[in-house]
Amino acid sequence: MTIAKTRGYRVFQGINAVILTGVVVLTLYPFINIIARSVSEERYIITGQVNLLPRGFNLSTYQLVISDPMFWTNYRNTVVYTVVATAIAMVLTTCYAYVLSKKHLKGRMVLVWVAVFTMIFSGGLIPNYVLINSLGLTNSIWAIVLPNAISVFNLLVMKAFFESLPSDLEEAAAIDGLNTYGILWRIVLPLSKAVIATMVLFYAVSFWNSWFTAFLYLNDTDLFPVTVYLRNLIAGATGAESAGAMSAEATQAAANIQSVTIILTVLPILVVYPFVQRYFVSGVMLGAVKG
C-alpha cells in the first residue's frame, strides 16, 4: 500500500527532516567540539575560540599520554578487566534470568525480590569496603569484576525476554530428551542473540568506564585501569596549573587534557558499537515488552 504524497504529507516530511537534522546536530556538536579541543593549542582553548574546527593544530597532549608506558599497561588492564567482568556478568545474569523466567518455579518471587531489593537498598560505601577487604579481594582483579557482576536492570530485561519465548519450543525439546542445561544452551541462547548482544554492550560499557571501584580497592599503579590513570593525569595537570610551575608542554596538556582523555576512553566503544548496533534496538525492545 502506497501513501499518496499529498501537500500535507510533504510538509510533514519536511518538518520531520528539519527536526531530526536539528537533533543530530545537537548530538554531534559536543563530540566534534571535544575532538577539536583535543588537537588545539592552549591559548585558543582558554579564550574560548575553539568550536567545530581546531585552532593551532597540536598533538602534544596525545604524545604526552601515549608515550608513557604506564598508559599502555593500564590500558591493557582495562581490556582484561572488561572482558573478564563482562564474561562473568553474562554467565551469572543469563542463568539467573532464565531461572526467574520459569513461573512454575517454587520460591520464584522470593528470588525476584532478592534482586529487586538491591536496587532500592545498598550496604553503603564503608560496609562494602570492609566486606571486600575481609574477603581478601583488595588489590586484585576480583575486586573489580565480582562486586558488580549482576546488574538488576539487565537481569530484569533478560528475564522479560526469556518469558516472551514460546514455551512450546522448550516442551518439544524436553520431549526429545534435552535436560534443562541442554534446552538453555541449544534452544534458548541461539534465539536470544539480540538481547545477549545488548547486555554484552551494556556490561562492557559499564566496566570500561568504571573508575571509582578501582580507585577504591586498588593500590598498585600497575593494576590501575586506564580510567584511573587518566583521572590521575587530569588531577596532576590541574594541581600543577594551580601551583603555577609548569613547562610549556605541561601547560598545553592542562588545557586540553580532559578532551584527550574523553577521546581515548570512548574510542574503543565507538569501534565496537557498530558491530552490535543491529542487535541493540531489537534486544532492548524484545526484553522490555513481553510479546
Supply 126's cell numbers: 564503608
Q: Which residues of 185-211 are buried (b: 16+ CB within 10 A; e: fewer)?
A: eebbeeebebbbbbbbbbbbbbbbebb
Report residue 231's pLDDT band, with 50, 70 and 90 as the boundaries: confident
Residue 54 lies in domain: 1-58
Least confident of 21-25, 76-80, 189-193, 256-260: 256-260
Tell me what the mean pLDDT of segment 221-248 comes to: 72
The predicted pLDDT at position 290 comes to: 46
How many CB atoms within 10 Å of residue 181? Answer: 9
- Report the candidate in 31, 27, 56, 28 with the shortest Cα–Cα distance to residue 255: 56
Tell me what the mean pLDDT of segment 240-259 comes to: 60
Measured CA distances, 290 to 127, 158, 190, 285, 287 (Å): 38, 11, 19, 9, 7
Indicate whether 48 and 86 sit together in one domain. no
Tell me what the mean pLDDT of segment 217-241 comes to: 80
Supply 4's cell numbers: 499518496
> Which among 36, 58, 80 is the end of a domain?
58
Indicate whether 269 and 192 sit together in one domain. yes
Residue with the larger pLDDT of the pair 145 and 65: 145
Q: Could you say which DSSP state residue 106 is in?
A: T
Model confidence at 15: pLDDT above 60: yes
pTM for this one?
0.80
> Which among 58, 82, 97 is the end of a domain?
58
The predicted pLDDT at position 238 comes to: 60
The predicted pLDDT at position 96 comes to: 93
Q: How many domains does the chain have?
A: 2
> Which among 26, 58, 90 is the end of a domain?
58
Indicate whether 172 and 274 sit together in one domain. yes
Report residue 282's pLDDT band, with 50, 70 and 90 as the boundaries: low
Model confidence at 285: pLDDT above 70: no
The predicted pLDDT at position 291 comes to: 42
The predicted pLDDT at position 289 comes to: 46
Indicate whether 154 and 98 sit together in one domain. yes
Model confidence at 142: pLDDT above 70: yes
The rounded distance, in Å, linking the Cα atoms of 272 and 278 is: 12
Per-residue pLDDT tens over the stretch 168-179: 888 888 888 888
Indicate whether 34 and 105 sit together in one domain. no
Model confidence at 141: pLDDT above 70: yes
Indicate whether 152 and 251 sit together in one domain. yes
Tell me what the mean pLDDT of segment 246-255 comes to: 58
Q: What is the mean pLDDT of the chain?
A: 83
Report residue 281's pLDDT band, with 50, 70 and 90 as the boundaries: low
- Report the candidate in 202, 267, 200, 204 with the shortest Cα–Cα distance to residue 230: 267
Indicate whether 83 and 164 sit together in one domain. yes
Indicate whether 233 and 152 sit together in one domain. yes
Per-residue pLDDT tens over the stretch 49-103: 888 888 888 888 888 888 889 889 999 999 999 999 999 999 999 999 999 988 8
Indicate whether 4 and 92 sit together in one domain. no
Least confident of 56-65, 153-162, 192-201, 253-262: 253-262
The rounded distance, in Å, linking the Cα atoms of 65 and 72 is: 9
Supply 120's cell numbers: 532500592
Supply 244's cell numbers: 603555577
